[in-house]
Structure 1
Amino acid sequence: MHTAADRRLAVSHWLQSAHPSPEDVRREWSEPDGVALLPLGTLLSAVRIPYDLVDAIAACGHRQCANEVLDHTLDGGPVICDPRSRRYYALVPASAPRRLAPAAAVLARAGVECLSRGTYLGVPRVDALEMTTWQSYWAVPMPSPGELCEPQRVADLIAHGMRRLAAAEADA
């Protein structure tokens, strides 16, 4: 059995390994905002999801409630919240953008984008678990190294949010 601190350390090392210079990641995480830019497309990719889609599902208007909905819907898969840009980033396997490519046009209309090679993502240090300022934090922490969101669950979440938004617009 591993302690939470052991798991966070293992996740931290795994995330650092995505960068060609892990010491740069450690340095960036030690700065006041505690966010490091990690290249996507080798170990992991990300799906950028606007608050509106998640809020349509959560129907509560509070970040904590929305985070709980993400945790439940994505079965504990890791999600970063960026309150400044009002977006979530579901971390997915590096291959996910290829699998989601056929739906790219539909996703783009909803403000969703699959981020992969050639893109860097601001990743907060692993102990940033709540919004204390407008800095990014883990809405759903990475449970263990390499444990990412299942792309189909992310696609289902997005489809559900899109249906809810469309229904709300039709009612308005």
Structure 2
Amino acid sequence: MTSDDSARVLRPVALDGGTVIHTSADRRLAAEHWLLAAHPAPQQARTEWARHDVALLPCGGLFSAVRIPGRLVQAVAASTDPADIDLVLAEVLDGGPVICDPHGPRYYALVPGSMPRTWRAAADDWRVADVDVLGRGTYLGVPRLDAVDFAAAGVASYWAVPMESAGVLCAPLAVARLIAAGVHQMSEDRAVWPVDPPLTPVPGVGAGRGERLP
């Protein structure tokens, strides 16, 4: 997406005093255009979103992804409730975008496209924990930008932490700290997280995305 495209997508709103903001809908639309730009045929990806709710986008260009097993993330959150986990991920990764595939479950933290090269040594070490860094030559199933709720998504992928703005990704260091915390927690308490437990929503707990659990 060119700078001119960005200007057309983002329609600023002027407030009293001259402050200019962009609405959440405009930011989401800009993020959608940015993700589509990763595909060599953006219209094809848009069609996949319309038909299947998920589009296959190539990694290693605009973004790469770190695939983290559910058991590791659940150990950090001390919960299998997706609402709890999503809140913890948003806090630990400072709002960086994360996709959840409930089938694993597996979590995919979107990171800069250069991470597979610049963090190669760390990525090699992470493989013993079933963590992988997806770069060039791999594709990631990216859900529609409005798929942000586990219950509504059902068995389909959804954004555990939504991409709120175009080009805003997870900081590699924050992802590394999340992985380290998960590995440490699992080594301390293997009996609780031996395999990937299924995601189990708990009624009435962590119902809102902005809600902080006690």
- Shorter chain as denominator, the TM-score bin is over 0.9
Which secondary structure state, in structure 1, belongs to the residue aligned with residue 190 of structure 2? Answer: helix
Q: Any runs of at least 4 consecutive aligned residues in structure 1 with deviations exceeding 2 A, and if so which?
A: 169-172
Separation in structure 2 between the aligned mates of residue 74 and residue 65 of structure 1, nearest angstrom: 14
Separation in structure 2 between the aligned mates of residue 49 and residue 113 of structure 1, nearest angstrom: 7
2:167 alignment counterpart: 146
Separation in structure 1 between the aligned mates of residue 189 and residue 103 of structure 2, nearest angstrom: 25
Separation in structure 2 between the aligned mates of residue 128 and residue 170 of structure 1, nearest angstrom: 33
Q: Does 1:66 align with 2:78?
A: no
Q: Does 1:122 align with 2:145?
A: no
Which secondary structure state, in structure 2, belongs to the residue aligned with residue 153 of structure 1? Answer: helix
For residue 128 of structure 2, what is the amino acid of its counterpart? R
Query: Aligned-pair distance for 1:103?
Result: 1.9
Q: Percent identity?
A: 54
For residue 160 of structure 1, what is the amino acid of its counterpart? A
1:50 alignment counterpart: 69
Give structure 1 stretches of 5+ with no counterpart: none
Structure having greater relative contact order (Cα 8 Å, sep ≥ 6): 1
2:103 alignment counterpart: 84
Give structure 2 stretches of 5+ with no counterpart: 1-20, 195-214
Pairwise CA RMSD of aligned residues? 1.5
1:166 alignment counterpart: 187
Query: Aligned-pair distance for 1:170?
Result: 8.2
Which of 22, 35, 38 is residue 15 of structure 1 equivalent to?
35
**Rg: which structure is higher?**
2
Which secondary structure state, in structure 2, belongs to the residue aligned with residue 169 of structure 1? Answer: coil
How many residues align structurally? 171
Separation in structure 2 between the aligned mates of residue 100 and residue 149 of structure 1, nearest angstrom: 14
Which secondary structure state, in structure 1, belongs to the residue aligned with residue 119 of structure 2? Answer: helix
Separation in structure 2 between the aligned mates of residue 23 and residue 170 of structure 1, nearest angstrom: 47
Cα pair distance change 1:57/1:82, threshold 3 Å:
same
For residue 145 of structure 1, what is the amino acid of its counterpart? A
Q: Residue by residue, what CA displacement relative to the aligned partner does 1:26-84 show, whole Å, maximum 9, x if unpaired? A: 100101x3000000111000000011111101012201101110000000000000001
Query: Aligned-pair distance for 1:97?
Result: 1.3
